[in-house]
Structure 1
Amino acid sequence: MKLQHFKMKESGLNRFFGPLEAKIMEILWDSRELAHELSIKDVQQKLESDKQVNFNTVMTVMNRLVEKGFLEKRAAGRSSLFQPVQSKEDFINNQSKELTHELMEEFGPLAITHMLDELEDADPELLELLEEKINSLKKGK
């Protein structure tokens, strides 16, 4: 599933989703860890700790997340139950991989140079991981 927009000036999940979409995904990811599917009403009640959110608004956003391929929906009597298609970790991993691919396609060596410049303040463990990956790539060629 490929996102159409990445918002540079946002943070966290808001880089990928609208604010309500991000909150809904977070709620559903938390419930997924407990192996639970949630109804629209369940999600609406969890959202209400912030402020009153209309049931129809939550329903519309959740159905759009289904259409976009981020949620699965199944009928359960007169209601529907929802769960994320993938874990939050898998989602973030896939999106960061796609972003990196797009940067490399568009900007190539310039993107690598800027990424390396950012390593000046990197955790030593990250640098070691990078070194191992580079050595592995060298051996493979």
Structure 2
Amino acid sequence: MPLRSTSLGDLERAVMDALWSHGPDLSVRDVMDQLLAAGNKELAYTTVMTVLDRLAKKGLTDRTRDGRAWRYTAAASREELAATALRSAFDTVQADRRVAMLHFLDDASPAELDDLRAALAEVEQRHG
């Protein structure tokens, strides 16, 4: 399923962090344990289950049946999710995409610009 939404609330982000850091294939209880270990406040099992269900419906997690329960895996890496968010943001300003990119890059550090140049060179090499 393609990523449909990249806007994450605080709890959704914490759940995704648990999946990225300790997954794949975590149960709701596993995710709860990771949230508690990361210093999050105690949450109801049903709250974590609901968040995981919503993330699955957004296409951000994959889930497989394990008896009566589900096991969850992040559908994409942090980097892939960030790229999707950037693409989505630039797609909303199609008429002025270049101007939006310039505004974005105006705040970039020299190191970030070096990373961008290296990434562009790699993409150009891949596409011939």
Please state which band the TM-score falls in when normalised by the shorter chain: 0.7 to 0.9
Change (3 A) 1:100 1:122: farther
**Paired residue secondary structure (2:46):** helix
Change (3 A) 1:112 1:74: closer
1:15-35 CA-partner distances (Å, limit 9, x unpaired): x21111000001001123xxx
Residue 118 of structure 1, CA deviation: 2.9
2-structure distance, mates of 1:28, 1:132: 32
Select which of 15, 27, 49 maps to 1:39. 27
1-structure distance, mates of 2:117, 2:77: 27
Select which of 30, 33, 56 maps to 1:66. 56
1:107 matched to 2:96: yes
**What is the percent sequence identity of the aligned residues?**
26
Residues 69-84 of structure 1 mapped to structure 2, 5 A cutoff: 69-84=59-74
Q: Aligned partner of 1:63: which letter? A: D
Q: Aligned partner of 1:110: which letter? A: V
Change (3 A) 1:128 1:63: closer
Change (3 A) 1:51 1:129: same
Residue 131 of structure 1, CA deviation: 8.2
- Where in structure 1 do 4 or more consecutive aligned residues deviate above 6 Å? none
| TM-score, normalising length: structure 2 | 0.75
Which structure has the bigger radius of gyration? 1
1:33-72 CA-partner distances (Å, limit 9, x unpaired): xxx3000011111112322110010111111111111111
2-structure distance, mates of 1:89, 1:131: 16
**Paired residue secondary structure (2:17):** helix
Give the match for residue 5 of structure 2: 3
Change (3 A) 1:41 1:112: closer
Question: Gaps spanning 5+ residues in structure 1: where?
Answer: 5-15
Task: Verify the 8 A CA contact 1:38 1:82 in the aligned structure 2.
Answer: yes
2-structure distance, mates of 1:30, 1:116: 30
2-structure distance, mates of 1:31, 1:131: 31
**Paired residue secondary structure (2:48):** helix
The aligned length equals 119
Task: Verify the 8 A CA contact 1:27 1:43 in the aligned structure 2.
Answer: yes
1:85 matched to 2:57: no
| TM-score, normalising length: structure 1 | 0.69
